[in-house]
């Protein structure tokens, strides 16, 4: 009897899966859009779930398979899903017609406190919180915070000098430790040296390391909002107690301390003193409770670790492969240190023009994030292809593929920092930190942190890249582009 029931259920599921796949294909055909047929029900997400490739590489195959198509329809369990490839359409979604595509495309439960942050949120709550957080990344604020950025980089170099065994092997992990320490200092005001082996590092590792369950949760969120909500899935359940508790404790201590540190906690306290956060246009308000502030601090901390680490590793990896370019960076860095009396300042880092070109080119070849997501909130029509997009449609947009498309970047696989000095780059096809009104809010901070770290590292070390047997690969990740099967050796310089 039980076997009969199981068989009957399996047959029903297969029939429903088949019918949903047919519906998806017909839906996009009626709209004149090519459809990805490899899996008509779950689309590329099934290949990601069952394979060993990161999701951006699955999309990479789709990008080139339909090279001349502006968009590609994909399978899903409920809302339509569209892969948008054309830069003009991407600009339409992220900038020109942003109001119709303002949703990140990620479903978040109200009780998932840490996920209610400026990255995942949408609608009026997202708008008012982003408005209030944006001032922390103005030029004046970054100048005030630079002492934290510079101290973190100095501490990292000192840490390497005290642990020479870390100069060869697992460099990505060591850079990740540095980013954790630097962000703990910027967000929580914690001394960077004490953070290299702190609980913050372990909690960040748990939240960021992909697991079978986290991949399944991500796939469900991508193909079915309804199923995700019905299962009451939370993104950061295991980290909730630690981070909310940590933020509350830091806020409590800092309210009685008059010292101005110019860090994220200072901003949180200022916002709480000012009362409800209000959008002047709509009148929508959000109470800046400790939980709301904890979610934003958690986002700033967590979102800054792996993307910043990847954003740093890529340029360093390329410098270790191109000694002639590395020599130009070292010469520029040495000259700046000598000009400013052996120290770095905010203005000194801005003078590292060629080093910045190296960073930009490294981010082009190895963007921290492989693609972007949105969800349509009002019916629209994409200009290229005249593609109708209904409210609720989820959208994926490539970063990695645009950065590697010869139509936009001649010799796309060649490491050529001077292409940025020559002005051969368009904002429509170069977007390592996103684009438009949902551009990464901490992009300027991340760039300053990476440039400062590169300057201190290249001042003290020469890089040698080692590629292991089998060649460079990418680790299986949901959003991130993470180089694997390679490493960077740091050889002390004799100054």
Annotated binding site for heme: 440
Q: How far is CA 113 from CA 120, 163, 279, 316, in A?
A: 11, 38, 21, 36
- Dmax over Cα atoms in the chain, in whole Å? 84
CB 367 within 8 A of CB 432: yes
Using CA atoms, how far apart are residues 304 and 183, in angstroms rounded to an integer? Answer: 7
Q: Which residues of 428-442 are buried (b: 16+ CB within 10 A; e: fewer)?
A: bbbbbbbbbebebbb
Is the torsion defined by CA of 208, 210, 212, 218 positive or negative? positive
Using CA atoms, how far apart are residues 477 and 309, in angstroms rounded to an integer? Answer: 14
Using CA atoms, how far apart are residues 238 and 205, in angstroms rounded to an integer? Answer: 12
Q: How far is CA 264 from CA 230, 260, 270, 275, 471, in A?
A: 35, 11, 10, 17, 41
Q: Which residues contribute to the annotated binding site?
A: 440
Rg (alpha carbons) of the chain, rounded to whole number: 23
């Amino acid at each position: 009897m039980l076997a009969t029931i199981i068989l009957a259920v399996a047959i029903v599921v297969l029939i429903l899966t088949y019918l949903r796949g047919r519906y998806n294909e017909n839906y996009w055909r009626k709209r004149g859009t090519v459809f990805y047929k490899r899996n008509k029900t779950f689309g590329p997400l099934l290949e990601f779930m069952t394979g060993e490739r990161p999701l951006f590489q699955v999309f990479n195959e789709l990008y080139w398979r339909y090279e001349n198509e502006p968009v590609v329809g994909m399978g899903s369990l409920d809302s339509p899903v569209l892969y948008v490839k054309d830069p003009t359409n991407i600009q339409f979604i992220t900038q020109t017609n942003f109001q119709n595509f303002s949703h990140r495309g990620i479903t978040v439960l109200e009780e998932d406190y840490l996920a209610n942050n400026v990255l995942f949120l949408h609608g009026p709550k997202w708008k008012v919180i982003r408005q209030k957080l944006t001032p922390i990344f103005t030029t004046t604020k970054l100048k005030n915070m630079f002492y934290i950025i510079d101290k973190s980089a100095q501490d990292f170099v000192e840490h390497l000098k005290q642990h020479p065994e870390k100069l060869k092997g697992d460099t990505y992990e060591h850079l990740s430790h540095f980013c954790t320490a630097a962000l703990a200092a910027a967000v929580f005001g914690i001394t960077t040296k004490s953070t290299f082996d702190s609980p913050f590092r372990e909690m960040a590792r748990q939240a960021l390391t992909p697991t079978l369950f986290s991949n399944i949760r991500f796939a469900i969120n991508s193909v079915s909002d309804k199923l995700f909500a019905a299962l009451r899935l939370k993104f950061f359940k295991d980290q909730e107690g630690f981070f909310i508790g940590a933020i509350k404790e830091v806020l409590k201590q800092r309210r009685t301390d008059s010292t101005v540190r110019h860090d994220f906690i200072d901003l949180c306290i200022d916002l709480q003193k000012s009362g409800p956060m209000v959008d002047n246009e709509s009148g929508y308000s959000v109470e800046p409770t400790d939980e709301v502030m904890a979610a934003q601090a958690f986002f700033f901390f967590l979102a800054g670790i792996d993307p910043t680490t990847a954003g740093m590793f890529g340029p360093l990896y390329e410098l270790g492969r191109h000694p002639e370019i590395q020599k130009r960076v070292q010469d520029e860095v040495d000259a700046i240190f000598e000009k400013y009396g052996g120290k770095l300042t905010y203005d000194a880092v801005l003078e590292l023009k060629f080093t910045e070109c190296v960073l930009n080119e490294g981010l082009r070849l190895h963007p921290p994030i492989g693609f972007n997501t949105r969800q349509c909130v009002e019916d629209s029509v994409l200009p290229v292809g005249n593609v109708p997009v209904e409210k609720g449609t989820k959208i994926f947009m490539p970063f990695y593929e645009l950065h590697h498309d010869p139509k936009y970047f001649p010799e796309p696989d060649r490491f050529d920092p001077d292409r940025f000095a020559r002005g051969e780059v368009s904002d429509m096809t170069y977007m390592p930190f996103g684009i438009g009104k949902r551009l990464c809010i901490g992009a300027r901070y991340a760039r300053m942190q990476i440039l400062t770290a590169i300057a201190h590292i290249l001042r003290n070390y020469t890089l040698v890249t080692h590629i292991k047997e089998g060649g460079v690969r990418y680790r299986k990740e949901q959003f991130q582009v993470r180089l694997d099967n390679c490493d960077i050796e740091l050889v002390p310089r004799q100054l």
